[in-house]
Amino acid sequence: MDELSTAAEHDAAHAGLWPDGPPWWTSAVVYQVYPRSFADSDGDGMGDLGGITAHLDHLQHLGVDVVWLSPVYRSPQDDNGYDISDYRDIDPTFGTLADFDTLLAQVHARGMKLVMDLVVNHTSDEHPWFVESRSSTDNPKRDWYWWRPPRAGMEPGAPGAEPNNWGSAFSGPAWDLDETTGEYYLHLFSRKQPDLNWENPEVRAAVHEMMRWWLDRGVDGFRMDVINFISKDPALPDGVVPDGKVHGDGHPHFGYGPRLHEFLAEMHREVVAGRPERLLTVGEMPGATVEQARKFTDPARAEVDMVFTFEHVGLDHGASKWDVRPLRLTDLKASFGRWQAGLADVGWNSLYWNNHDQPRVVSRFGDDGEHRRDSATALATLLHLHRGTPYVYQGEELGMTNAGFTRIDQYRDIESVNYHAEALRYGWATEEEVLASLSAMSRDNARTPVQWDAGRHAGFTTGEPWIAVNPHHTEINAAAQADDPTSVLAHYRRLITLRHEEPAVALGDFTMLLPDHEQVYAFTRALAGTSLLVLVNVSGEEQAVDLPAPDAWSDAELLLGNLRSEASAADPLRPWEARVHRRTTA
């Protein structure tokens, strides 16, 4: 089949998928801001809204289209803002609603959009809804959360008396006893994050009203935290206890619950549908499969625009995230390739390496020593040339590395601190082994302050930062890279510009090449007579390129490279080299 007929079929498929044309976010790039670590404007050591506003020129210069703001709502900060006590106010740590309005106006003035983090699987235990709910068994809001008595025949607080055996994501059981009423409440995360009961229509209506309130204020969409957990099996059955573990795995009973699609469709209908502006909705969905994602993101079903899959960021896990294994490139190809193929005709992919919950990709899958700059730009090229919407996490565009912490008292993340205590309590690992796992995988690797310059505390704050600054900031920082055309920052700018200017990057068909090669990641993109060949050496050794049809690329131009400006498609790849070649047909 020739490329022109393929392009015609591709355009016809788009017309069926999006009758009004591809949405704006198909050619957009999103930038995630984790506010407490981005920039501090008042010297208290915590990032804030004023700090974000002061650095918007950096994001505009980078070229991103959307700013995704991690939670800034009022919160006791047990889980760094993902425990919300008031959905309609800003936490004083970050500023005020007036500060937020200023930030939103400045984002829009620069031609960018702002997406809020929506955390509605759970609230804080200090939210007025939960305060009422726990006050008595007959309170009108009792059924807004998951309350259950102890197991039959057992006394409240006795070992094993929890209503089921599920474990919390942050260690320990997923149930906590409330002494006032003698019943337990469900918390899939921290004990200070009780799960909302979405079976109750009053809960759903309250959430929808809150979402409309933010959209009316001017925000441009939502990133939905663990949104696939909102529908639980009402029977709350016990989960299977994995070997060597204490608690059962409840995920099969809440990860893809019986009413999930119903709840998401209702949310879209009640909140998003009918608005004149085209919003962005992305659902974080741990454990979601390609088949499920096709349903979630099918425009005809009107649920969400895209999902965050966790499949590729679990490829270096053994029995758990703390059991770190080397990444096999063929596993990454199989995962990415499956998602590219699965969402080729229905729905849409999100593309990411980093976020506030993942370690830095240059340390994780790259080489943060000798080849830090080259591996950071190679991995960026690999990701951004796929079909989907790329997400850049703060500092990723600088090639920031893992934190390098060596003591438990350096960590602030509740998941990391709890795992350290639990692993030592149950003898799962030695202190040295636990610290090695944390060094590789802790969420705090992503949460050290953004490195703006080589000065004290990396220009993040004039006070004492809430978490230690990475000592690498003296060499890895925005100021040093701002005017350097060979920097990681400059390469990210070129990648973002390419997505904006070359339709084949945004909408082209994807074909994996060399699926069994353990060092070279290669694929093509094709749209309307334009074909792109992407070649990435994911190793520190030179690699020959053995393409299935090398002559077809003999006259292709080098569109983008991270190491050189001239090369043919047949040239060997230098260590951590990435190249994008383009050919066109009349």
Question: How far apart, in whole angstroms, are the C-alpha atoms of residue 506 and residue 18?
Answer: 14
What are the boundaries of each domain within the chain?
Answer: 29-124+201-406+486-490, 125-195, 407-441, 508-584
Could you tell me which residues come within 8 angstroms of residue 20 by beta carbon, excluding any fewer than 6 positions away? Answer: none
Which tokens sit at 143?
Answer: 């059924």
Contact call for residues 116 and 88 (beta carbons, < 8 A): no
Check 284, 357, 368, 397 and give the catalytic one: 284
Active-site annotation holds for 202: no
Question: How far apart, in whole angstroms, are the C-alpha atoms of residue 221 and residue 237?
Answer: 35
Per-residue confidence (pLDDT) for residue 4, from 0 to 100: 38
Question: How far apart, in whole angstroms, are the C-alpha atoms of residue 46 and residue 77?
Answer: 12
Could you tell me which residues come within 8 angstroms of residue 227 by beta carbon, excluding any fewer than 6 positions away? Answer: 118, 120, 121, 264, 283, 284, 285, 304
Per-residue confidence (pLDDT) for residue 322, from 0 to 100: 93
Q: Alpha helices, DSSP H only, in 389-540?
A: 414-426, 431-441, 478-481, 488-501, 503-507
Active-site annotation holds for 86: no
Per-residue confidence (pLDDT) for residue 51, from 0 to 100: 98
CATH architecture of 125-195: Alpha-Beta Complex (3.90)
DSSP code of 409? G
Coil, helix or strand at residue 118: strand
Which tokens sit at 7?
Answer: 């392009």
As a CATH number, domain 29-124+201-406+486-490 is: 3.20.20.80
pLDDT tens across the length of the chain (586 residues):
344 344 444 544 554 578 888 999 999 999 999 999 999 999 999 999 999 999 999 999 999 999 999 999 999 999 889 999 999 999 999 999 999 999 999 999 999 999 999 999 999 999 999 999 999 999 999 999 999 999 999 999 999 999 999 999 988 999 999 999 999 999 999 999 999 999 999 999 999 999 999 999 999 999 999 999 999 999 999 999 998 889 999 999 999 999 999 999 999 999 999 998 889 999 999 999 999 999 999 999 999 999 999 999 999 999 899 999 999 999 999 999 999 999 999 999 999 999 999 999 999 999 999 999 999 999 999 999 999 999 999 999 999 999 999 999 999 998 999 999 999 998 999 999 999 999 999 999 999 999 999 999 999 999 999 999 999 999 999 999 999 999 999 999 999 999 999 999 999 999 999 999 999 999 999 999 999 999 999 999 999 999 988 889 999 999 999 999 999 999 999 999 999 999 998 6
pTM for the full model? 0.94
Which tokens sit at 297?
Answer: 């993101």
Check 195, 225, 397, 502 and give the catalytic one: 225
Sign of CA dihedral 579, 560, 332, 526: negative
CATH architecture of 508-584: Sandwich (2.60)
Q: What is the DSSP string of 509-549?
A: EEEEE-TT-SSEEEEEEEETTEEEEEEEE-SSS-B----SS
